[in-house]
Every structure is written in C-alpha cells, then in structure tokens.
Amino acid sequence: MSITTESELIGMQQASEAVAYTLREMVKYAKPGMTTKELDNYGGQILNDLGAKSAPYVTYGFPGWTCISVNNEFCHGIPSDKTILAEGDLINIDVSAELKGFWSDNGNSFVIGEDLNQHQKLIEASKQILHKAIHNIKGGVRIADIGFLIETEAKKRGYKVIKNLTGHGVGRNLHEEPHEIANYRDRFNLTRFKKNSVVAIETFISTTSTYAETLQDGWTMVGNKGGFMAQHEHTIVVTDGKPIILTEMNEIWN
C-alpha cells in the first residue's frame, strides 16, 4: 500500500493503534498459571471492543484471535486451554487486524515473570536490531541491504536469523508487496523500499536454527535445529527520512 491521502494515513494510524494497544495490554495481562487461550480471548475482546477484526482469523481461518507461541514454538502458535504459562517462559504474541478497510501488524517476544532461563539477552538483541533496521529504512534503500544489516547485527551478538520468515507490505490486506523483507541479504531481491509505502518490519533472531518448520497442526512453527527465537515487529510508513512508526503504542522498545 502507498499512502496518497490524509484519510489513508488516518486509517492506517487507527488500525495500527488498535493492534498496538491490544498487544501492549495482552503483554501486561499475561501471568504464570494462565492458559494461552485465556490470554487470546482477552486480546480478542479488546479487538472486538475497538471494532477491529483479527487478521489471521479473517484471512486464513486461524483457530484463534492472535498468534501466541511459547518457548520452542517460533511463531503462529495456536492459543490453547492446554498450554499453561509458567514463570520464565519465552512467549511471543503477534497481533494483526483489520479496521475500516485498513490492516496492521505487530509482535513482541518477552519473558513471563522472572527471567529464569536467561532469554532476556536474546529478546534485547531482537529489539535493538529491529530499532536499527527500521531507522535505516527510507525510500530508495535496497530491501536486501536491510536484510544484510539484520543478519550482521545478529551474528555480532552470537545469534542466527530465520531465513524463511520475513517482513512484508501491509495496508489494504495483511500481506502485500513487497512480500519478502528477509532477515538476510537475499542477493536475488533487487527491490527497494518506496517512499510512502507501508511495511511490517520483523526480526526473527534465533539461538540455533536458521529455518522454521511447520508442525502437524498445520500452523505452529518451530526451529529446524531447535532452540529459541525472538520476534519483534512494527508497521511503518517509509519516508525520505525518519520512518513513521505506526505501531509505536505497543511500547516494545520501552
């Protein structure tokens, strides 16, 4: 999507604030002893109250309002009555939704309660790398160069990136062009970021794996070599200078 009018910008801001607020409140609400289904229902109610529709549910028939992945699950985890959150768990919540014809997407990995399993270092790396990547994006920058930056920063910190999970364009649908904003330098991708376009930038920083594989449930993804992954995501508008971070309200950098 390319922002061409004030009303389009306002529409994107409203959809983005809905997903960002929902994500922030879900993170605050998450506690040891709670099931991921309880947490998902809480987020689904917030979206509903805001007049927003769950994007994975509407687009793909996903069995939940949000994606909640715990520990060795990397992404697209199905909220469940059987998954009970415990102190020290690494959890990822990904919230995307449609509001009045506009779509937005954001995600956050964090630790439940005390960091008993030393996941915080991985989480901080993912957050810092996302911040650096986003602040290097402007019109004309090669998408592959941002991928190279993300992978280089991950390697510096002793981590790897997941090569088959990517950021993407967003706005009038959940996934739009550019379809693949990879976390590594894809030398075959010659496309550049376009001024006024809307994109969801995501980091996929991992301890041991480089690819994500889908489990038998058809949704949940785990690492090809196990380990853990942190994902952080903002939806932004590309400009000539500093990008507009539409989902800033999620407070993932606070």
Question: Residues at the annotated binding site?
Answer: 76, 94, 105, 168, 175, 202, 233
- HSE-up (13 A, CA, CB side) for residue 10: 3
Distance between CA atoms of residues 130 and 113, nearest Å: 23
Cβ-count burial of 114 within 10 angstroms (0-12 exposed, 13-18 middle, 19+ buried)? exposed
Binding residues for a divalent metal cation: 94, 105, 168, 202, 233
Determine the Cα–Cα distance for residues 194 and 239; give it in Å rounded to an integer.
8
Per the annotation, binding residues for substrate are 76, 175
Query: Could you tell me the CA-to-CA distances from 155 to 67, 122, 181, 206, 209 in Å, in that order?
Result: 27, 12, 18, 10, 13
